[in-house]
Amino acid sequence: MLEVNDANFQAEVLNSQLPVLVDFWASWCGPCRMLAPIVEHIAKNYEGKLKVVKLNVDEAGETAAKYGITAIPTLIFFKDGKVAEQKTGFMAEDVLSKLAETHI
């Protein structure tokens, strides 16, 4: 799965032709680690329909601040370069799949 940062966020997320799911996370965050395999599964299930990327808030603080990330994990769906939906906290795979379906 692609890791995005402050330098490539514009190109990889905002300029993407596909809708994008960004997983804002950090290595020290337990719920983030629990969510990671679910996000990876979503990436595989929706390959070609939804671009899924991860952004480490400790390494891309500028972008995290721009989108008001104050708690993690936070998932943001982007469509046409704009925030379409934002959710914070752990969620089950079926819930995340239903969310993804609404954005593709």
Quick: pLDDT tens for 66-100: 999 999 999 999 999 999 999 999 999 999 999 99
- Taking the C-alpha atoms of residue 38 and residue 33, their distance in angstroms, rounded to an integer, is 10
Q: Active site residue: 4, 32, 39, 64, which one?
A: 32
**Other Cβ atoms closer than 10 A to 8:** 15
Is 96 an active-site residue?
A: no
Q: What is the pLDDT of residue 1?
A: 85
Q: Tokens 């906290």 identify what position? A: 89
- In the numeric block, which tokens belong to residue 100? 């993804």
Q: Active site residue: 4, 22, 29, 43, which one?
A: 29
**Other Cβ atoms closer than 10 A to 20:** 24
- Taking the C-alpha atoms of residue 82 and residue 26, their distance in angstroms, rounded to an integer, is 23
CATH architecture designation of domain 2-103: 3-Layer(aba) Sandwich (3.40)
The model carries a pTM of 0.96
Domain boundaries, the chain: 2-103
Is 32 an active-site residue?
A: yes
